[in-house]
Each structure stands twice: as C-alpha cells, then as structure tokens.
Structure 1
Amino acid sequence: MKRMLLLASSLVAMAACTAKPTDTAADEAKLRADAAIWWELYNKGDADGVANLYAEDAIVLAPGAPAAVGQAAIRAYLTSDIAASKAAGLTFKGGDISGVGIGGDQGWVSGAFSVTDTTGATIDNGKYLSLFRRTDSGWKLIRDTWNSDRAPAQPAT
C-alpha cells in the first residue's frame, strides 16, 4: 500500500512539473502580427508604441548607429529615427515574411521591407531579423536588426 501511495504521489509530482503544451501555430501567428504592428506604429509616428513592443533588456542593432540597449535607449533611437523619416517623407512597408519559428519561450521572424518616398517610389529594399521572448505580458522583442539590400557607398577617391 505504501508503495502504491508513493508511486501515485510521484506520478502527480511529475505531471505537475511537465511543461504545458504551447500552441506553436498561434504563437507564430502572433509574431507575424507583431511584425505588421511594428510597421504600422512606426509610420504613425508612435515611438512609444513601437518601443513598448520591446522587452526592458532588448537591444536594437540598427545600421549606421550604435546599439540601442534597453527600452529607454530604443525609445530615444526610435523618436529620432521616426522624426527624420517623417521629415524626409519616407514610409516603411513590411514585405514578405520569409520565416518564423518558435523554440520554447523564444521566437523569431525574418522578412523583407521597402522604403517609399512621398511619390510612392521605392527608394530602398532590405531585410530584417527580429528575436522575441515570451513574457508574462506576451511576446516581446529582445533583439532586432535590419539592413539595406543596396551596396555600401564607395569611398571617395
């Protein structure tokens, strides 16, 4: 009888320790949606809204800029970058998402983007990679980087 009680207690304890299953398809859909929301908020000029998509310890690795470490630095970077984009009449558009994946409490999205001017002409194309972490308040960006498809400018001779 003691063995049965011990076995039953052990099984209950092991069942309580197993990770709850996750809905990978729903998580991937959420990351795709968050990628679309990023572009929408950026083009609205909502630096706070975009910054709130990032975790407190996130890092943005923007081309031609120092790493923005932490949500406050990311907010400052976005405020400046959005203002410059607005002044230049630029709009950023998310393109095809080339990949999305989930591994435990981490996920990633990669895709393409384009930049258009006030006439609607495409002036740049590029790609991005965004890493996410599942938190108590949902998925948050933890690393974000992107770059242009254009070759770097040649040095003056």
Structure 2
Amino acid sequence: MNRNKIFTLIRIIIAAAFLYNCSATSTEQSNLEEARKAIEASNEVYFTSFAKGDSSIFIDRYAKDCCILAPNAPALCGESAPLHFFKIAHDEIGLRNGKFIITQIYGDSKEFVTEEGVWQSFDKNNVMFDQGKYLVLWKKTPEGWKMFRDSFSSDKAL
C-alpha cells in the first residue's frame, strides 16, 4: 500500500471515530434529559403524598431495593423502607409539604443517574421547619426511573 492510501485510511478511521463519539454524546445527553424529566415529574408528586396522607404515592417513587439514608438514623433498606420512612416523616415529624430544587443531574443515564439539590420541609401550617441538601441515586427500572439511594442532611446545627 502506498503512503497516500495509508494516510487516507487513517483519516477515514479518525473521522469515523469522531462522528461516532459525537453521536454517542448526543444520545447520552438525550438520555440524561429523559431522566431529568422523569425525576422532575417524580419530585412534583413526592410531597403530595404527605399533604394527602397517602403513602402509596411516596412508596411509588422508590425502587424495590432502595435505601433511605436519613441523618442521625440507621439506613432503611428494602421494600418496606419507604413506608417506614413515610410513617416517621408524616406521623412523628409532621411533614406535610416540601420543595426540591435540583442543582445538577449527572451520570451515564443508562442504568443510573445522580440528582443533587437542596430541599425545604413544611408543616401543616405551611411553615418551613427544615431545609438542607440531598443526593439521590436514581435507577432505571422496568417501571421507570426510581430512587435507589436517597441521602439527605439538614442545614440546621445539631
């Protein structure tokens, strides 16, 4: 093979690799946007469960193999974890409403994405009683994006 053919072949390979990489990046960005929309939709109804006192709405946000990593408490893991946490937050703490503010979503968007943000919690009189930051690892399941690991902490001093 002469030198011109070799250089031409190398240029074709580089161009093909570049085009493939651009296409993969575009697909990843599209998948990340799809995940973001699902997370935003889930977050919209999350606190509705507390206002209505309906644990089924809350439970549906989580994967069956989830862990809720609340501050100053042991991890709650497995299918019963969301119901257990809901009862504590609703019945003992008095959570009735709240707000999530997503600051960033990142990840491979194939199986997992991470949501980072801040939150606020409100009581039955719509008075904010706590606020903090959170990280949620979302898992893509046959039922859609579900919370797999939910970790949060208050900004209040102990």
2:128 is the alignment partner of 1:122:
yes
Asked whether the 8 Å contact 1:112–1:125 carries over to 2, the reply is: yes
Q: 1:39 to 1:108 in 2, by over 3 A?
A: farther
Is structure 2 residue 50 aligned with structure 1 residue 45? no
What is the aligned partner in structure 2 of residue 109 from structure 1?
115
1:119 to partner: Cα distance: 4.3
**Structure 1 pair 138–150 and aligned structure 2 pair: CA distance change class (3 A):** same
Give the 3-state SS of the residue equivalent to 1:32 in structure 2. helix
Cα deviation for residue 72 of structure 1 reads 1.1
Aligned amino acid, residue 97 of structure 1: I
Q: In the aligned structure 1, how far is the partner of 2:130 from the partner of 2:106? A: 27
Q: Comparing 131-140 with 74-83, which one deviates more in the overlay?
A: 74-83
Q: Please give the per-residue CA displacement for 1:27-59, whole angstroms capped at 9, x wherever unaligned.
A: 211112212221222332222221122111110
Matches of 2:125 and 2:144, distance apart in 1:
38
Assess if the C-alpha contact under 8 Å between 2:66 and 2:81 holds in 1. no
With over 3 angstroms needed to count, the CA separation of the structure-2 counterparts of 1:28 and 1:95, relative to structure 1, is: closer
The residue type paired with residue 99 of structure 2 is G
Offset at residue 133 of structure 1 (A): 0.8
Alpha-carbon spacing, 1:42–1:110, altered in 2? closer, same or farther (3 Å): farther
> What's 2:96 paired with?
91
Superposed displacement of residue 85, structure 1: 3.4
Residues 1-157 of structure 1 mapped to structure 2, 5 A cutoff: 23-24=30-31, 25-86=33-94, 90-103=95-108, 104-152=110-158
RMSD: 2.2
Equivalent-residue separation in structure 1 for 2:62 and 2:100 (angstroms) = 21
User: How many pairs align?
Assistant: 130
Higher normalized helix content (fraction of residues) = 2
Percent identity among equivalent residues? 27
Structure 2: runs of 5 or more not aligned:
1-23
Unmatched tracts of structure 1, length 5 or more: 1-18, 153-157
**CA distance, structure 1, for counterparts of residue 122 and residue 90 of structure 2:** 14
Aligned to 1:9: none
Alpha-carbon separation, structure 1, partners of 2:152 and 2:99? 12
1:112 offset after TM fit, Å?
Answer: 1.5
